Chain A
Amino acid sequence: MSEESTYTAIAMARSGVPATGEAVDAAAVWAALAEVPDPEIPVVSVVELGMIDDVDVGPDAIHLTLLPTFVGCPALEVIRTSVERRLQDFGRPVDVRFDFRVPWTSDRITPDGRTKLLASGFAPPGPVRADEPLLVQLGTPVPCPNCGSRRTVLENAFGPTQCRAIHHCTACRQPFESFKSI
């Protein structure tokens, strides 16, 4: 063992992290991923957004399959780096792969994720209704995250990021954003 890797092993042993070769618990990886925030809406984690499709702890590496929320999401490389950095304490290479095999949909956002979105002023997405014309779906008022009123109007189906839409509440007269149903 080289001097450098000896020090690494000692540092990991002190921090309670298993060194390379020791078993890594998939549940511990999931718990660590739950601390990786979404770069565009940091109140929710990548786990709460439903972006993690698969965690496979192999003998030599941790393989992750992530589902992009949008095909052209510019935050993907930031997410990759954040995930790699958060998992580096596990002491083995992290292989992050983005995949469309399972299409990400806003229905994958967890109940906890929805609660956090609402608490931070984002209306969570309603269920995706693929059989219904999009205009009908968009015509359904989204409850205001500030006052709870349903007297709201959609101002713009396109917002400051690909996954957000802009609304206005006629009750409390505040603008707000929602996470798109997609």
Chain B
Amino acid sequence: MNVATLPTVALGELLRSMADDEFVIGFSDSEWTGIAPTLEEDVAMSSLAQDELGHAAALYGLLGDLTGTDPDVLAYDREPEAYRHCRLLDHGRGDWAMTIARRFLYDSADGVRLDALAGGGWAPLADLVGKLIREERYHRMHATVWLDRLARGGDVARSRLIEALTTLAPDAATVFTPLPEALALVDAGVLSVPMEELEQRWRAAIGPTFSTLDLPMPPPARDQARGRLDHGEAFRWLWTEFNTVRRAEPGVTW
């Protein structure tokens, strides 16, 4: 695509939202390192976190190329209000059921979003997405296996899973929050369909799993227009955590 015709504002919003999503869920996953319910899951969550932070770094890199900004500045040097991850990722680590419910909802939605970006009109993003899709397959498999295990795993596991899904339900569809000037992305061929249609695809994709496991499908998002704004206390705490080294020693590299 000719750079002159690239909708840079909309593209920047898209990259920032995706990078922030991966960054925040990656850091949330890393909260399990050392304390996951089993040793295997300790390794798995740490590996998932490493994948997601790597994805975030690559997406911040593209955003940095687009805007002429250092990716580390994008990742670390913003106030909490300036992050654009979806509200689904704003609930804090919670228990294991909460973690699995969040991962399943996010991974399934992220998969639909990535598919709609594959082969898109801006090569740097389309190329990266082609690679992300291969890795996210493993993430979806992990979340699906655990969702199934908790849903069929006896009263405690099942009730905790339903409680987690109920807590997350009003925010589940916020992955598809319409982005500013997003239609320009569709016109430019960067994104194949609008976010609203992606949400329908996501519902169709997860419907059979929720039906088989007799789990409550998430309703439409509450206040979807603000689905990537108004981050609460749990995110402020995480922000303080992931910024600790950066603020203690500005400009530090390792």
Known contacts A99-B127, A101-B127; is-contact A158 B48 (Cβ 8 Å): yes
Interface size class of A (residues with CB under 8 A): 20 to 34
- B134 in complex: contacting residue of A103, A135, A157, CB < 8 Å: A103
Please determine whether B135 and A182 come into contact, CB atoms closer than 8 angstroms. Answer: yes
B33 an interface residue at 8 Å Cβ cutoff? no
A45 to chain B, nearest CB (A): 22
In angstroms, Cα B23 to Cα A8, docked, is 46
B182 to chain A, nearest CB (A): 24
- Name the B residues within 8 Å of A28 (CB-CB): none
Closest to B132 in A: A71
Please determine whether B43 and A160 come into contact, CB atoms closer than 8 angstroms. Answer: yes
Please determine whether B131 and A159 come into contact, CB atoms closer than 8 angstroms. Answer: no
Please determine whether A72 and B57 come into contact, CB atoms closer than 8 angstroms. Answer: yes
Q: Mark B120-136, 1 if CB is under 8 A from A, else 0.
A: 00010001101110110
B155 an interface residue at 8 Å Cβ cutoff? no
Closest to B129 in A: A100
A176 an interface residue at 8 Å Cβ cutoff? no
- Name the B residues within 8 Å of A155 (CB-CB): 40
Beta-carbon contacts under 8 Å, A122-180 to B:
134-135, 138, 155-160, 162, 166, 180
In angstroms, Cα B38 to Cα A166, docked, is 14
Interface size class of B (residues with CB under 8 A): 20 to 34
Beta-carbon contacts under 8 Å, A45-98 to B:
68, 70-74
Please determine whether A158 and B135 come into contact, CB atoms closer than 8 angstroms. Answer: no
Please determine whether A157 and B138 come into contact, CB atoms closer than 8 angstroms. Answer: yes
A-B pair number, CB within 8 angstroms: 74
Closest to B133 in A: A103
Known contacts A71-B58, A72-B51, A101-B127; is-contact A157 B142 (Cβ 8 Å): yes
A154 to chain B, nearest CB (A): 10
In angstroms, Cα B153 to Cα A157, docked, is 21
Closest to B52 in A: A72
Please determine whether A70 and B54 come into contact, CB atoms closer than 8 angstroms. Answer: yes
Closest to B59 in A: A71
Known contacts A101-B127, A158-B142; is-contact A74 B50 (Cβ 8 Å): yes
B254 to chain A, nearest CB (A): 11
A105 an interface residue at 8 Å Cβ cutoff? yes
Known contacts A71-B58, A158-B47, A182-B135; is-contact A103 B141 (Cβ 8 Å): no
Please determine whether B40 and A104 come into contact, CB atoms closer than 8 angstroms. Answer: no
In angstroms, Cα B39 to Cα A155, docked, is 11
Which positions in A face B, CB cutoff 8 Å?
68, 70-74, 99-101, 103-105, 134-135, 138, 155-160, 162, 166, 180, 182
Besides A135-B144, A157-B142, A160-B43, 13 new A-B residue pairs in contact (Cβ under 8 A), listed by A number: A68-B131, A71-B55, A71-B135, A72-B54, A72-B57, A74-B54, A99-B127, A104-B131, A105-B134, A156-B40, A157-B44, A159-B47, A182-B137
